[in-house]
Structure 1
Amino acid sequence: MLQSTINYLGEPTTALLRKKYMLGGGRLGWTGKEGKYQISDFPTWFCLMAQGDLIYITEPLSSFRQHDSQQHQNLDTHFGGLICWTMMIQAAIERNVFLQKDIDKRKAIIQWLKYADENVVAMKDYPKDVWERTYVQDFLKAYAGMAASLSNGYHVEYNIDTTRPKGIYQGDAV
């Protein structure tokens, strides 16, 4: 998943798991640092997989309905997802889990950059107010940090504020 930036497992509703194996005994996420850039599914899968084996059943047991008002249609959510992927790659490298060999680290970073490049190219037509949005500016910082990591030993570093505004979902499992 880290080397392809594709969530092969899907939404949280498709999994059966024990809360005790989740972050802090019941929260979604992996590092606890994702904050406003936390995506509920793939960081949770990394948290669970870092603790041991899992079983993946290829037979579809649920379906995913798409509609116009879904969160992933939102531009901030899209850029937030890209940022979240950088945080997961960074955590895997720092924790020396999943991406242990240099070639695996390089593949994950380059694949993310390839995906992010498509988004940077699409941004050429964005109006100024979109460029000024926090999520877009943080994405550009993450982009620069990921690119720089290729020449500094795969150390992914960038500085963004991940604090969630009050009243925003904090990642507790239901």
Structure 2
Amino acid sequence: MIDEKGNVLPDKSWSKSIVENTARLSGDVVGRLMLQNIINYLGEPTTALICKKYMHDGHLGWTGNEGKYRISDFTTWFCLMSQGDLIYITEPLSSFRQHAHQQHQNLDTHFGGLICWTMMMREAIEENVFLKEDNDKRKAIIQWLKYAGENLEVMKTYPEEYWNKSYVQDFLKVYAGMAAALTNGYHIEYRIDPT
């Protein structure tokens, strides 16, 4: 990670290497780890070298149904990891610039990302990949609810007009669906329009 001027920044929990040395890793294991921690350990689109034929119809994403909630990087990683292993190179080959105007600083993008994570969990559960055991499903859902709950805490200070935004309304529907999944066999069910 670097700042606006190119100075190297210390790693954050999400930017630290998940292994000490370059290694072949199980896509299933890394996918489960990412879903259970709500962390994209693989990084931005520029950090991976991939073969287009393994992507969803040659496009970014996993399901093709993410719509406006698709986050291009981790959804694509799940698509690829569902098909096999990956080589994780610990040597930094690119830089990730941290600055105040990044897209993830935008609240709509932030809530869209939270919604996208639930779409990935739902797909993993429905396709029986990454989250195969009940304990794995429970851990992922609880971690998402914890992280989403922290966002709800911040939201109580938002002005009234913000609560009417489609991203916020969808986020609240998704939150209710994720909470309900803990009592209905980990079936993630909610209705939102991602178009």
Q: TM-score, normalised by structure 1?
A: 0.92
Q: Alignment partner of 1:93: what SS?
A: helix
How far, CA to CA, are the matches of 2:188 and 2:151 in structure 1? 20
The structure that has the greater radius of gyration is 2
Is 2:173 the counterpart of 1:145? no
| RMSD of aligned residue pairs (Cα, Å) | 0.6
**Among 87, 101, 125, the residue aligned to 1:55:** 87
Partner residue in 1 for 2:73 = 41
Partner residue in 2 for 1:167 = none
Is 2:50 the counterpart of 1:17? yes
Q: Higher RCO, 1 or 2 (CA under 8 Å, sep at least 6)?
A: 1
Return structure 1 stretches of 4+ with deviation > 3 angstroms: none
- Superposed, which structure 2 residues align to 1:80-119 within 5 Å? 80-119=112-151
How far, CA to CA, are the matches of 1:142 and 1:56 in structure 2? 32
Is 2:35 the counterpart of 1:5? no
Sequence identity percentage: 77
**Among 107, 110, 116, the residue aligned to 1:78:** 110
How far, CA to CA, are the matches of 2:37 and 2:100 in structure 1? 26
Partner residue in 2 for 1:28 = 60
How far, CA to CA, are the matches of 1:112 and 1:68 in structure 2? 25
Is 2:167 the counterpart of 1:135? yes
How far, CA to CA, are the matches of 1:7 and 1:70 in structure 2? 16
Unpaired runs of at least 5, structure 1: 164-174
Matching residue's letter, 1:84: C
Return the offset for 1:19: 0.5
Matching residue's letter, 2:47: T
Count of residue correspondences:
162
Matching residue's letter, 2:185: G
